[in-house]
Amino acid sequence: MRRVRTHTNPLKRFSIEVPDWPNVFEDPKLPFALEFGSSKGEFLIRHAELFPKMNILGTEIRLPLVSSVKEKIKSLGLGNAHILYGNIANRIEDFIPCGRIDRVYIFFPDPWPKKRHFKRRLITSEFLLKLSQFMQKDSGIFIRTDHYSLFDSIMSACNSVSNSFVISEEPSLPIISAWEEHCLRTDRHFNKIYLKRI
């Protein structure tokens, strides 16, 4: 695979077609997980393998990675995994096949450290409130970041939606993302945040 740009503007405008869900998932009515920023798809694919009774939809804004992950999903015959090219943050309601979200994974989102780029950051209070509309009680959002400034920004957003979510102890996950594995291997500090729907 050719070198993929690390930073891609998530606000870049392009049309995202809503899939025909029965052609994407073998059973669209299964519980549903959503991953923002699937990168090379390691977590998405492992999640689909470990949780066959849960669909997972990944999103990624770098087209070469999306194409590669789709090929992996196809070759493994996973009927409960799919990945979309684009940013669906403002159109979440169009991409929930069963009408609800049971889990959300946001692992090491781009920190956009320059002040003029803060508007590109994914996790805001508005974004969390949007997610909350489709999440039932006790469903949750798993978040990871290794960037201090972004962590502060995320915590501010989390604290502003306390009527919808509570920061809670994270349920055990049998898998981790590739970058979390890297952080653990290299002793790189990162923060975990788990938001539970109330």
* Residue of 110, 138, 152, 187 marked catalytic: 110
Radius of gyration of the CA atoms of the chain, in A? 16
Phi-psi region of 187 (alpha: psi -120 to 50; beta: other; left: phi over 0): left
Contact at 8 Å (CB) between 66 and 1? no
* DSSP 8-state symbol, 184: H
DSSP string, 1-66: -----S---TT-----PPP-HHHH-S-TTS-EEEEE--TTSHHHHHHHHH-TTSEEEEEES-HHHH
Name which of 105, 118, 115 is nearest 180 in CA terms.
105
How far, in Å, CA of 70 to CA of 55, rounded? Answer: 15
Q: Is 146 a catalytic residue?
A: no
Active site residues: 110
